[in-house]
Chain A
């Protein structure tokens, strides 16, 4: 902060310091109010999700979690298909984007010429600012046709009939499905993970790296044996944050996943996630059980996301204590 160089700021701060104690207390009270209001809102959301979803839990019992039946006409609902779709797409997205995010972060911190560092860093951050609906439209109108023609068709045609590979690659050749949704998700969570990993790498004290170089290590050895182990637990936290975002992503996935209820059997098959099911059906759901089941799905998603974030907190906290 260079405010001391500004004479105006100095003059202004003088009379305030006399009643600084009062201001401090006011400030503390307001911050406390802000924080507790947030907690109250969070608690309120959990409670209202529980109340809203109760009819579904009461009617279907534990079967709600293990059935993949979703039939609005017969009023039979089960969360298993959507939960599976959510976990599969989020995990695939993570597997696709983690190597890329690591590559971006390592390049920016360890290898990048200073001229390129800022443009690439900004580009990664810009990716994070694109609204999810834009990813959805781009995915549906641009990515899906390209993906169908250059990736999906060759893979489907190369699969030998009767093999396991054929089973997991069958689908409608139009670029919509589990794998497409995972790829779009991977692009969406990439900037968050890359930015966090970059900050972690930057937080390594220069002496650590310099000592390694001083011992005669190559760049690759420094990265593999010193930098990455140094940030390992923090990196797990970054991954969990990315996973948390992938789990809850709605619009982009709804556009590209194909929206079929039930268990996805192939990477090109249509599926659904918890968030996409809610986005699709909530506006038009009028039946008590339908609304309750969608609300219950929301609670399930809340619990999954909470578990992921809590895990991240624990891991990050452990690193801070080292």
Chain B
């Protein structure tokens, strides 16, 4: 009789285990977000950098129109894979795809918001913006060619600043990241000596140590006197990290502010960028911050379900029209008005099976 009870319990556990296993098995099926009917949840996946803003936009729009967005911040690489596999209605990436790559997969791409990369430092007695660096000096530091803060090369550009005799600890991102991609693209563009490392979301760093995520880099920089690292602008601003002033293509030393990012975006020539493939690296203009970049949305040119495409574009149309304040608040930089108009015009290329555009933006 005692055995009976034991047996029963084992049975219950056995059943529970089977159910749990069966439940796990179901996860193998891809999420069917791309086939969601209009008005239902729309799913997107990709870059982590704009995720807080997309969440905020979605929240505001849900209150207004009932639109529900399920955005998974799985990283840009994941976003590209997911949209190619058609498991999501849109992908998001910090690293734009080249026009030929878009063409090969039948994708279109457009920017949503602008961010940038800010070098941060931890030097005793030195406050934000006091240290001025050129792109070439930054490359030499990250190559391990300049190893001390009182190196004559750095001292020459910073008269009046007491540079300490401290070794420079280089900190970079350990995880593959759009931030690293922008940073290394900038170094490649301005410093010929960086060519041996190259530009990518993960590279073979010649020196230094890697922190995971913006917070990992920031933690190493904060904990090490003499450290230099780089983080997203929004992260640097919210955590009030001491930044450096960088020299831009006009020869001016600029500080990372919303204005200097907006200047870079405004001075960029988007008309000569098919598929909006443009990194805002070293853009002209005396006020432009040199390491700026937009974050992008990827969609299929031909929408299997026009209603889904319409919902997605409607979401970003709303964001362009009413989302700038939310972007400012979270330390992102909204797109300039003429670029928004250009993007809206490009949406006519996104069509349903009947070759008609799925969404026509209202005249502004």
Interface residues of A (CB under 8 A from B): 1, 3-4, 9-10, 12-14, 16-17, 20, 23-24, 27, 30-31, 33-34, 37-38, 69-74, 140-141, 144-145, 148, 172-177, 254-255, 258-261, 270, 272, 276, 279-281, 283-286
- Among B153-161, B172-180, B245-253, B324-332, which stretch is in contact with chain A? B172-180
- Cβ–Cβ contact B18 & A71, under 8 A: no
- Cβ–Cβ contact B11 & A34, under 8 A: no
- Listed from nearest, the 4 A-B pairs whose CB atoms lie closest are A284-B176, A259-B210, A259-B174, A13-B4
A73 to chain B, nearest CB (A): 4
- Cβ–Cβ contact B209 & A283, under 8 A: no
Q: Is residue B8 contacting chain A, with contact meaning CB distance below 8 A? A: yes
- Cβ–Cβ contact B223 & A270, under 8 A: no
List chain B residues, Cβ under 8 A from A260. 205, 208-210
Q: What is the bound-complex CA distance between A13 and B9, given in angstroms?
A: 12
- Cβ–Cβ contact B177 & A1, under 8 A: no
- Cβ–Cβ contact B176 & A16, under 8 A: no
A3 to chain B, nearest CB (A): 4
Chosen A-B contacts, 26 in total, with CB atoms closer than 8 Å, are: A9-B1, A9-B4, A12-B4, A13-B5, A20-B4, A24-B7, A33-B18, A34-B17, A34-B21, A70-B204, A71-B203, A72-B200, A72-B202, A73-B204, A74-B198, A145-B223, A173-B224, A177-B209, A255-B216, A259-B211, A272-B174, A279-B175, A280-B174, A283-B78, A284-B176, A284-B202
List chain B residues, Cβ under 8 A from A71. 203-204
List chain A residues, Cβ under 8 A from B208. 260
Q: Is residue B220 contacting chain A, with contact meaning CB distance below 8 A? A: yes
- Cβ–Cβ contact A175 & B223, under 8 A: yes
List chain A residues, Cβ under 8 A from B211. 259
Q: What is the bound-complex CA distance between A10 and B176, given in angstroms?
A: 62
A255 to chain B, nearest CB (A): 6
A176 to chain B, nearest CB (A): 6
- Among B69-77, B312-320, B337-345, which stretch is in contact with chain A? B69-77
A23 to chain B, nearest CB (A): 7
A237 to chain B, nearest CB (A): 25
- Cβ–Cβ contact A174 & B202, under 8 A: no
* Further 19 A-B residue pairs, CB within 8 A, beyond A70-B204, A71-B204, A259-B209: A1-B6, A4-B2, A20-B4, A31-B14, A38-B21, A73-B203, A74-B198, A172-B169, A173-B224, A176-B220, A254-B212, A258-B210, A261-B204, A270-B209, A283-B78, A283-B176, A284-B177, A284-B202, A286-B80
- Cβ–Cβ contact B1 & A73, under 8 A: no
Q: What is the bound-complex CA distance between A143 and B176, given in angstroms?
A: 25
- Cβ–Cβ contact A281 & B205, under 8 A: no
A272 to chain B, nearest CB (A): 8
| B80 and chain A: residue at smallest CB distance | A286
Most buried by B among A175, A254, A276, A283: A283
Q: What is the bound-complex CA distance between A192 and B74, given in angstroms?
A: 32
Q: What is the bound-complex CA distance between A16 and B77, given in angstroms?
A: 56
Contact flag A72-B204 (CB < 8 Å), given A285-B176, A286-B77 = yes
Query: Out of A141, A144, A280, which one reaches B210, CB within 8 Å?
Result: A280
Q: What is the bound-complex CA distance between A276 and B212, given in angstroms?
A: 10
Q: Is residue B199 contacting chain A, with contact meaning CB distance below 8 A? A: yes
Q: Is residue B162 contacting chain A, with contact meaning CB distance below 8 A? A: no
- Cβ–Cβ contact A174 & B5, under 8 A: no
Query: Out of B4, B14, B209, which one reaches A17, CB within 8 Å?
Result: B4
List chain A residues, Cβ under 8 A from B227. 174
| A262 and chain B: residue at smallest CB distance | B204
A102 to chain B, nearest CB (A): 33
List chain B residues, Cβ under 8 A from A285. 77, 176, 202
B148 to chain A, nearest CB (A): 14
Q: What is the bound-complex CA distance between A259 and B220, given in angstroms?
A: 12
List chain A residues, Cβ under 8 A from B10. 27
Q: Is residue B55 contacting chain A, with contact meaning CB distance below 8 A? A: no
List chain A residues, Cβ under 8 A from B15. 30
Q: What is the bound-complex CA distance between A31 and B12, given in angstroms?
A: 11
Q: Is residue B197 contacting chain A, with contact meaning CB distance below 8 A? A: yes
Q: Is residue B81 contacting chain A, with contact meaning CB distance below 8 A? A: yes
List chain B residues, Cβ under 8 A from A12. 4
| B47 and chain A: residue at smallest CB distance | A284
List chain B residues, Cβ under 8 A from A177. 209
Q: What is the bound-complex CA distance between A31 and B203, given in angstroms?
A: 49
B166 to chain A, nearest CB (A): 11
Q: Mark B191-222, 1 if CB is under 8 A from A, else 0.
A: 00000011111111100111110001001100
Q: What is the bound-complex CA distance between A283 and B76, given in angstroms?
A: 8
- Cβ–Cβ contact B5 & A1, under 8 A: yes
| A173 and chain B: residue at smallest CB distance | B224
Q: What is the bound-complex CA distance between A77 and B82, given in angstroms?
A: 25
| B4 and chain A: residue at smallest CB distance | A13
B144 to chain A, nearest CB (A): 12
- Cβ–Cβ contact A259 & B212, under 8 A: yes
- Cβ–Cβ contact A73 & B198, under 8 A: yes
List chain B residues, Cβ under 8 A from A14. 1
| B208 and chain A: residue at smallest CB distance | A260
Most buried by A among B21, B74, B200, B203: B200
Q: What is the bound-complex CA distance between A148 and B15, given in angstroms?
A: 51
Q: What is the bound-complex CA distance between A9 and B9, given in angstroms?
A: 12
Most buried by B among A141, A172, A270: A172
B251 to chain A, nearest CB (A): 29
List chain B residues, Cβ under 8 A from A172. 169, 209, 224
Query: Out of A9, A27, A148, which one reaches B11, CB within 8 Å?
Result: A27
